[in-house]
């Protein structure tokens, strides 16, 4: 990666980091219960992201990528902090993301969200899919924070209705997606594509 491209990558990463700093710091502080440790972990997140971006470039969604790095950094923190535990020999094999009903069903969400009325679509895509903060959207669009919250809430409700119009979803007692299937062909016009 050339020098100008590295500078541009660092600037984009710094901007994403600035936008997410307070949110990530609050989340890490909640998870570890210590202000100083949370700040140290946040610095580690940025260092890892900077090193990875110089090596591989930036992904399409830097905000979601930073959240993933934060989650992995937290896991590493607890892994080092906790003693190793022996796992039983009969532990089932890990399931691939593609095998999970929840993962497969989630593949419908973006196409369905793009079918929502503009005001809800744009707000939902920015907040839930691009990881933008509601306050940053309110500032950018010149509307109140409560207006953006209302749009997100209504957008999520509409998205849920569209998903349930398209698919029958079976949930566990804890609310996990266990299985789903598409409904009759007459209702399939609402669905963007074949789910399962």
Query: What is the per-residue pLDDT for 148?
Result: 92
Burial of 73 (0-12, 13-18, 19+ CB in 10 A): buried
**Same domain, yes or no: 74 and 115:** no
Domain co-membership, 62 together with 35: yes
71 and 128 belong to one structural domain: no
Last residue of a domain, one of 48, 81, 114: 81
72 shares a domain with 106:
no
Domain final position from 51, 81, 111: 81
Residues 108 and 34 in one domain: no
Q: Can you give the pLDDT at residue 117?
A: 93
Residue with more model confidence, 1 or 27? 27
Distance CA 120, CA 159 (A): 9
pLDDT tens-digit series, residues 48-66 = 887 877 777 777 777 778 8
Q: Which of 81, 80, 54, 53 is nearest to 69 (CA)?
A: 53
Q: What pLDDT is attached to residue 94?
A: 46
Query: By residue range, what is the domain housing residue 73?
Result: 3-81
Cα end-to-end span (Å), the chain: 41
C-alpha atoms less than 13 angstroms from C-alpha of 175 in its C-beta half-sphere: 0
Q: Are residues 53 and 113 in the same domain?
A: no
Could you read off the pLDDT of 137-186 as tens digits, one per residue?
A: 999 999 999 999 999 999 989 988 888 887 777 777 776 767 777 776 43
How high is the pLDDT of residue 120?
A: 92
| pLDDT over 80 at 11, yes or no | no
Q: Are 52 and 104 within one domain? A: no
Higher-confidence position of 70 and 10: 70
Q: How many residues are given for the chain? A: 196
Classify residue 119: in a domain, yes or no.
Answer: yes
**Residue 90 counted as domain residue:** no
> In total, how many domains does the chain have?
2
- Taking alpha carbons only, the member of 109, 114, 93 closest to residue 169 is 109
53-103 pLDDT tens trace? 777 777 777 777 888 888 888 888 877 765 555 555 654 554 444 445 666
pLDDT bucket at 192, cuts 50 / 70 / 90: low
Separation CA 92–CA 7 (nearest Å): 46
Q: What is the mean pLDDT of residues 4-18?
A: 70
Q: Specify whether 58 is located in the same domain as 118.
A: no
pTM of the model: 0.46
SS3 category, 86:
coil
Report the CATH number that the domain containing residue 116 is assigned in CATH: 1.10.10.10
Residue 119 has pLDDT above 80, yes or no: yes
Please tell me the predicted confidence (pLDDT) of residue 163.
Answer: 81
**107 and 140, same domain (yes or no):** yes
User: What's residue 153's pLDDT?
Assistant: 92
For 24-47, the pLDDT digits (tens) are: 888 888 888 888 888 888 888 888
Query: Is residue 87 assigned to a domain?
Result: no
pLDDT beyond 60 at 110 = yes
DSSP at 89: T
Report the CATH number that the domain containing residue 70 is assigned in CATH.
1.10.1740.10
Residue 196 lies in a domain: no
């Amino acid at each position: 990666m050339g020098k100008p491209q590295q500078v541009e990558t660092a600037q984009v990463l710094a901007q994403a980091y600035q936008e997410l700093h307070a949110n990530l710091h609050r989340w890490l502080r909640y998870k570890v219960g210590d202000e100083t440790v949370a700040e140290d972990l946040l610095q580690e997140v940025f260092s890892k992201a900077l090193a990875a971006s110089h090596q591989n470039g930036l992904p399409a969604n830097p905000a979601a990528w930073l959240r993933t790095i934060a989650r992995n950094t937290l896991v590493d923190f607890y892994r080092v902090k906790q003693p190793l535990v022996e796992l039983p020999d009969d532990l089932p094999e890990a399931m691939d993301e593609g095998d999970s009903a929840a993962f497969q069903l989630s593949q419908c969400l973006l196409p369905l969200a793009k079918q929502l009325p503009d005001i809800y679509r744009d707000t939902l895509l920015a907040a839930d899919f691009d990881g933008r903060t509601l306050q940053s959207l309110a500032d950018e669009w010149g509307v109140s924070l409560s207006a953006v919250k209302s749009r997100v809430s209504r957008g999520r409700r509409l998205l849920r209705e569209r998903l349930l119009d398209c698919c029958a979803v079976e949930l566990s007692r804890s609310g996990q997606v266990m299985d789903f299937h598409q409904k009759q062909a007459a209702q399939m016009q609402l669905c963007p594509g074949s789910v399962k």
